[in-house]
Amino acid sequence: MTPSISVCIPTLNRAPHLRGAIESVLASTLQDFEIVVSDNASDDNTEEIVQSFQDPRICYVRHKRRIPIQSNWTAALFHARSELLFKLDDDDRIEPAFLEKTVQFLKSHPEASSVYTAFLVQSPGGRPVPIVDDHFFGNRVLCDGVEYCRAILLNRNLPQNHKSAGVFRAVCAREARYFDRCLTDIIFTMAIAAQGSVGYLREPLFRYVLHGGEHEAGRVVRVADMYLKGLHNLFDLDVVKEQAAVSDLREEVLHQHRRLAPIFYTHLSFRNHGRVKGLEVARHFLREDPSLSRALLFLSSVAVLALLPRQVVHYLITYYYKAVWPKRLVNVVMKLSRSS
């Protein structure tokens, strides 16, 4: 019998975290699910951890050889049997009502291609901080998918959902060509949104877990590069080409995001990991792209964030992504720099 939803967990050498992710799914109020664990040739006791649950709803797939991370994400989705899918990172958690309420939402709203919930940010040793979108979604439970894509691409009123925490339809994932084309969660979320409405539940039902010791600057730079490659691929997808209000933005967006990506990922490093890691990431970006040394927006933002206390940095960056006017100001500066 086909389960109501498939929870797909790609993993690599994170057995202790994986146990907690699986336990959070097993504690769900909705019990009609399957869990697909796609093990990217781990060297630790991942298989032992998975088998210890002895639950027939858990499907364990182990790759003989290490494959790219995006291919492992896609493999997890390929093995799923349900028409509703959820990719859960192996170190994150869901609240007990997450599956029940998201599945119920998509069944009640056939026009929606995906649904997200408010979420909690869990720092090491700290209290979980709820992130509820009061600006883009507000009190809406549905928004137009094209509107959602344009808000992200044009750096305007950015949706405050966690981009890796959406439940989506399998048919939409197939049309999006999975992660082998989209490459990152933020690109994938737009490829899905281009195919229907986007749902939002204001109850924090997803838990994003930060791990201070696992931050590596070179990896952040590679993720930014992967994002830009995925952005190119996004505009080549048929489901995006069919949406002129999105596809017509191609040249403007690709130019703008080449400058915005280093700023965005550096800002996140300052906010989530502090001054030392933020500066380390900024130096990596400068080594990879020396032209950033002449980019006033990049240099000034790094200087300001390096001088301020971490709590102030967290507040300012959170405010920037919630408010509209700072992003409009950045967009004006980007246009001026392009014309000069």
Q: What is the DSSP letter of 293?
A: G
| Dist. CA 284–CA 290, nearest whole Å | 10
Identify whether residues 230 and 252 lie together within a single domain: yes
Same structural domain, 191 and 325: no
State the pLDDT at residue 340.
Answer: 46
Residues 131, 224: one domain? no
Residue-wise pLDDT tens digits, 31-84: 999 999 999 999 999 999 999 999 999 999 999 999 999 999 999 999 999 999
**Domains: count for the chain:** 2
- DSSP assigned state of 184: S
pLDDT at 318: 67
Q: According to the model, what pLDDT value does residue 338 have?
A: 53
Q: Decide: residue 233, CB within 10 A, 0-12 exposed, 13-18 middle, 19+ buried.
A: middle
* Residue pLDDT, tens place only, 191-228: 999 999 999 999 999 999 987 555 566 677 788 889 99
pLDDT value of position 281 = 87
The stretches of 52-162 forming alpha helices (DSSP H) are: 69-78, 98-108, 145-153
- Which of 112, 104, 261 has its CA nearest to residue 194? 112
Instruction: List helix spans (H) across 27-135.
Output: 46-51, 69-78, 98-108
Do 97 and 169 share a domain, yes or no? yes
Which one of 161, 190, 212 terminates a domain? 212
**What's the pLDDT score for residue 211?**
73
Neighbours of 193 (CB within 10 A): 32
Instruction: Give the side-chain half-sphere CA count within 13 A for 70.
Output: 18
Q: How far apart are CA 318 and CA 205, in angstroms?
A: 20
Task: State which of 185, 212, 239 marks the end of a domain.
Answer: 212
What is the domain extent for residue 149? 5-212
From 194, 212, 230, the end of a domain falls on 212
Dist. CA 77–CA 211, nearest whole Å: 25
**Do the beta carbons of residue 200 and residue 116 sit within 8 Å?**
yes
Q: pTM for this one?
A: 0.87
pLDDT lower than 50: segments of the chain: 339-340
> Do residue 247 and residue 232 come from a single domain?
yes
Q: What residues form DSSP beta bridges with 197?
A: 112
The answer on 15 and 97 residing in a single domain is yes
In 3D space, the residue among 62, 109, 66 whose CA is nearest the CA of residue 84 turns out to be 109
